[in-house]
Structure 1
Amino acid sequence: MITLSDITKVYKNGPLEVQALMPFNVKIEKGEFVAIMGSSGSGKSTLMNIIGCLDVPTAGRYVLDGEEVHTLDEDQLSRVRNRKIGFVFQSFNLLGRQTVLQNVTLPMMYAGISREKRNERAIELLERVGLEDRVKHRPTELSGGQKQRVAIARALTMNAPILLADEPTGNLDTKSSNDIMRLFKEIHQEGTTIVLVTHEPDIAEHAERILLFGDGALLKDTRKESVRS
């Protein structure tokens, strides 16, 4: 599903260069649940942005679901993001003036899906995450856990084969974090490939595989025989 070969990332600021990612190779198979761990500045967020087609590597080859991502222009990358990747962010990234329903339908609107079909799909997903009674609410009327469930529903609208989550429990209390991780595990069991960035070991333990980064280098790639139920 995801193949990263000799990937590097260098940021330039005038004469200064910062190597955010050292050369590394990683392959993530379809249906895997992978956690990317590391402290601040380890390169994990840069890697997430590359996998999510929000940034491009300085060098190396990135193949996503058989497509050579590193050769695509911005319009092509936008189509890949819309159809193949669902995003969940720490800060939720919900539109404050829009209702819960409107927030969830946004990816489908960009894809040209009719209002009737996108509303039907959004309500179905909001029922799935337990928020069918919050359809007309706005984000300011929701708890942090509820906002993240809205974001997950939005990420699932296009049936994307990959779900990317960047510190999805970072702004949540313990109970809400556990609820969100149970939801991720349900989604994973249905066949979705999940790549999750976290600095929290107990959150990473829910994954099948952990990639540990430090100072831009891949330090360890651990596959687990069993994970927490």
Structure 2
Amino acid sequence: MAEPQKQRRLITAQERLRDQVANALRAALIAGELRPGSVYSAPGLAADFGVSATPVREAMLDLAREGLVEPVRNKGFRITEVSERDLDQYSEIRALIEVPVVGRVTGTATRQQLEALRPVAEEIVAAAREHDLIGYLEADRRFHLTLLGLSGNQRLVETVGDLRKRSRLYGLTRLDERGELLPSAQEHIELLDLMLARDAVAAEACMARHLGHVRSLWAQDGDEAVGSRPAHGAGRPPADSAAG
């Protein structure tokens, strides 16, 4: 029995490395270090990360299932491009889902359930102040998906989670540098306060404004939003990356 147990431990370690590489690749996408439309080979990225090609290839397959990259035969993986039309459509679907759900949850969630989101909302603001973009996105993801989860509809949560992955907040680094990220972060606290006040109409309006604000930030970033920095130096995979 010792040999199978050893094998299970090795598989666990390999899967953990794959997750770390996948998170590091997501971070590179957010920072614009991987250019949409460009093709990257697993061995080349592996050299940057200081790991073997296998976990990079496995991580890229994970990202392909999320729609972030696409395999290119005998070459590697192409970073998928997100057009203005794509972003418009993702934003429209999110608004159709999230705005009415916020209104409904405002009337059904307990005060305790809503207050449990306050530390996450404050974490979003803190990450924006500290220029921690990965922390910002992870906290933002947890806030929105947990809030939607209060509706009791897991399929709805999965749908919005997929849309978030596909839109990816291109150009987040430049938005942070221009000081435009903090106001968006603070809208989470405003939304929570309105929901706690049981003002469903104002909460829906706040969510609509928040989603529109995010979309306008993408538009303001223009062509630079797709990133302009090379993949080299993207960094080694962190020990416990929290990117979502």
Determine which structure has greater relative contact order: mean sequence separation of CA pairs < 8 Å that are 6+ residues apart, divided by chain length: 2
Larger-Rg structure: 2
Same fold (TM over 0.5): no
Q: TM-score range by the shorter chain?
A: under 0.3
- Could you tell me the TM-score, scaled by structure 1's length? 0.23
Query: Hey, which of these two has a bigger chunk of helix by percent?
Result: 2
TM-score using structure 2 length: 0.22
